[in-house]
Structure 1
Amino acid sequence: MKLPVFLHTALQNSWQRKGLLSTLLLPFSLLTRCVIARKRAAYQKHPERVYRTTVPVVVVGNLYVGGTGKTPVVIALVQALRAHGWTPGVVSRGYGAQLGDHARTARRDADPRLFGDEPSLITLLTAAPVAVHPNRPRALRALQRAFPEVDVVISDDGLQHLALGRDIQIVVQDGRGLGNGRVLPAGPLREPPERLREVNVVITNLTPGEAAPAADMSPAQHVVMRLLPQSVEHLQTGRIVAWPAWLAEHGQETIAALAAIGRPERFFTMLRHAGLTLATAQSLPDHDAYTGASPFDRFDAKTLVLITAKDAVKCRRFNDDRLWVVHATAQFSPADWADQVSHALRNVASPAPRD
């Protein structure tokens, strides 16, 4: 259940400092810490409960609740590992999809209603096979049965799913860093900040011109990611235009932007920083299913509407000639971080799987 807007805003603001609201919620955060500690202790005491497979597993997750930019990292990692000779596959929760006891698998043409918008986008852009289920080991086993050629698995989210063994852990954060450093609900963190001591890579997703957050305690490799518009695709016809050419052709027209992602303002800021003047910017809830009436009816008939690639997989049914999809490219510093991940994976010797 989504919180009312005013309560969501109040929490987000309180999570950036240790103010009154955060302090009042602190006793509940202590309970959260206890639950987290007991869960970790249970898996440490019974390592046989952790599912491990014959291929290496990379988990891409976050500590800060909500969207931090994991999907672009997963896509970039799939592409980089393939360039190094790997055959990657992806497992994911399949947020928003109605899943029963069995995991679903696909390679391309993954209906977002059946797989969730992010897995659908990942396989569309990378052609990597995906498997979805809240039980990550179940998804992994289904992936390997359907695609035995996969030799490295990337878990999209799942940092906190300790039942899935992993060889490399990547945390994605944004300019908010660790917020006030407290766990839910007094703070925005799913786990205490010291969890970063155990990860291999911390990727900070920044909007153009945004400063990096204060340094954390992690000994991991630190990477900065910035998303920049690369091309624009006309959703109805599939015509693709490079961003500079599209801006020159349409930049003087009335343009709106709409996004249903974790932090829509990142999308809008990226567009403005890339030279676009937006007449209006509309946000929808993250993972909005676009099942009702078209949200684009609110715009004037002559207004061009820019949407994210994540939203595009659910918007083709509207057959709206005004819709253009912005395809962003991720720029990393240092640029060779994924090369180092590939090198580390070569040295991984995963134990045999359990039945």
Structure 2
Amino acid sequence: MIFHDARLLHHWRVGGGGVLRGALTLLGYPIASSYSAVMALRNSHYDRVGGQKIPGVKVVSVGNLVVGGTGKTPFSAWVAKELKVRDLSPAIVSRGYGRDELVLHNKWNPDTPVVADSDRLKAASLAGLEGADIVVLDDGFQHRRIARDFDIVLLSAEDGFPGYLLPTGPYREPVQSLRRADAVLVTRRTAPCLVAEKILAQVRGIAPEALTAAIHLSPFAWQDLRGFPATPPDGNILAVAAVARPIEFSQSIANMVTGTVELMSFPDHHDYRSDDIKKICLAARERTIAVTEKDAVKLAQYDDILGEVRVLVERVRWESGRQEIERALDKLAGATA
């Protein structure tokens, strides 16, 4: 069974000072410097030549600056649903890493095709051939081979901003890259609203041309592993998560229940095996197990073994900027018609 240190991961994401941060910076600086230089050359190239357009297909990219966990998959699903409402024929294009995200897209938007391929230009072109007039790129900000008509970047209020580049921190690109975005949205789960507002103010200074908005990825409902509505968990909880932000998941649950919450975390996109399930059951000790929707995709096959499991469902709840984003989608829909 594979475990990983959720607290170390959290510290790596959040940044800050201390001995650990100093060690990470010192050890990772040569790699981070080389990585930064490569990204600068790559971005300079695409700034000059641009991406490739797909005939007859508009492109909305939903991406981020950091490695995972900003809510791009649920927000991509929200965008696809809004495009459908505007009488467009969207498809969602994903790299296909992690079956869980593809299953969730099919669950949230069952009438919207999902095309998965590591070559997302190929996937987007295929979606167009199959009838899509607009595609939503899930995690597309760094995939600059494809020209896009609306480029959305998500930032997490739980991350340090600005932050450290890989591998010393979670940032794929420096914050100055936000200048090429059409819209920047700050998402939050457990961070206070004031933190999101502070980051938005910094973003406006970096990318004054971009639309800005704030979203709360808020707890909405509980389900069982089969997807049926369920009562909230009672008593003490074992939170099991193989996601990018396990600490935030356990904190969300702790804010909702009166009992204690213990976290058992695995690497993001982890494929649960039978020995994992045995260890989870042993650790639960008759406590209710709480998981994310993403984890439920892979744990559903063990429903009869795990006992009482509750799945926390989140929703996209706008806190600011929704009208501006919707007007941009209206404009895009008008150009597509």
Please report the TM-score for the alignment, with normalisation by the length of structure 2: 0.83
Tell me which amino acid in the other structure corresponds to 1:324.
R
Q: Which residue of 2 aligns with 1:346?
A: 333
Cα-to-partner distance string for 1:296-326 (whole Å, 9 max, x where unaligned):
3224463221211111111121123412222
* CA deviation after TM superposition for structure 1 residue 23, in Å: 5.2
1:148-159 to 2 correspondences below 5 Å: 148=131, 150-159=132-141
Cα distance in 1 for partners of 2:189, 2:286 equals 29
1:318-337 to 2 correspondences below 5 Å: 318-320=302-304, 321-334=307-320, 335-337=322-324
Contact 2:10–2:247 under 8 Å retained in 1: no
Contact 1:15–1:180 under 8 Å retained in 2: no
Contact 1:257–1:278 under 8 Å retained in 2: no
Tell me which amino acid in the other structure corresponds to 1:151.
D
Q: Which residue of 2 aligns with 1:132?
A: 116
1:161-200 to 2 correspondences below 5 Å: 161-177=143-159, 179-200=161-182
Confirm or deny that 1:201 pairs with 2:183.
Answer: yes
Q: Which residue of 1 aligns with 2:57?
A: 55
1:17-28 to 2 correspondences below 5 Å: 20-21=22-23, 22=25, 25-28=28-31
Contact 2:217–2:315 under 8 Å retained in 1: yes
Tell me which amino acid in the other structure corresponds to 1:34.
A
Contact 2:237–2:288 under 8 Å retained in 1: yes
Q: Which residue of 2 aligns with 1:221?
A: 211
* CA deviation after TM superposition for structure 1 residue 8, in Å: 5.4
Match of 1:95, SS?
coil
Please report the TM-score for the alignment, with normalisation by the length of structure 1: 0.79
Contact 1:232–1:324 under 8 Å retained in 2: yes
Q: Which residue of 2 aligns with 1:119?
A: 102
Cα distance in 2 for partners of 1:7, 1:323 equals 24
Tell me which amino acid in the other structure corresponds to 2:330.
H
CA gap 1:46/1:201 in 2 versus in 1, 3 angstroms: closer
CA gap 1:163/1:317 in 2 versus in 1, 3 angstroms: same
CA gap 1:183/1:288 in 2 versus in 1, 3 angstroms: same
Alignment equivalent of 1:78, drawn from 77, 80, 87: 80
Alignment equivalent of 2:228, drawn from 239, 252, 260: 239
Cα-to-partner distance string for 1:51-85 (whole Å, 9 max, x where unaligned):
43322111111112232221121122222222232
Contact 1:170–1:202 under 8 Å retained in 2: yes
Cα distance in 2 for partners of 1:176, 1:239 equals 30
Cα distance in 2 for partners of 1:78, 1:181 equals 30
Contact 2:15–2:159 under 8 Å retained in 1: no
CA gap 1:300/1:12 in 2 versus in 1, 3 angstroms: closer
Unaligned runs of 5+ in 1: 97-115, 351-355
Match of 2:298, SS?
coil
* CA deviation after TM superposition for structure 1 residue 117, in Å: 1.3
1:7-18 to 2 correspondences below 5 Å: 9=9, 12=12, 15-16=15-16
Contact 2:133–2:336 under 8 Å retained in 1: no
CA gap 1:3/1:235 in 2 versus in 1, 3 angstroms: closer
Match of 1:75, SS?
helix
* CA deviation after TM superposition for structure 1 residue 203, in Å: 1.5
* CA deviation after TM superposition for structure 1 residue 134, in Å: 1.1
Cα distance in 2 for partners of 1:27, 1:191 equals 16
Cα-to-partner distance string for 1:238-283 (whole Å, 9 max, x where unaligned):
4314xxxx23xx43x3432211110012222222223453442221
Alignment equivalent of 1:311, drawn from 292, 295, 315: 295
CA RMSD of aligned residues (A): 3.0
Contact 1:72–1:330 under 8 Å retained in 2: yes
Confirm or deny that 1:268 pairs with 2:268.
Answer: no
Cα distance in 2 for partners of 1:315, 1:183 equals 33
Contact 1:81–1:338 under 8 Å retained in 2: no
* CA deviation after TM superposition for structure 1 residue 4, in Å: 7.0
Contact 2:64–2:154 under 8 Å retained in 1: yes
Cα distance in 1 for partners of 2:261, 2:43 equals 49
CA gap 1:62/1:322 in 2 versus in 1, 3 angstroms: same
Percent same amino acid at aligned positions?
Answer: 27
* CA deviation after TM superposition for structure 1 residue 37, in Å: 2.4
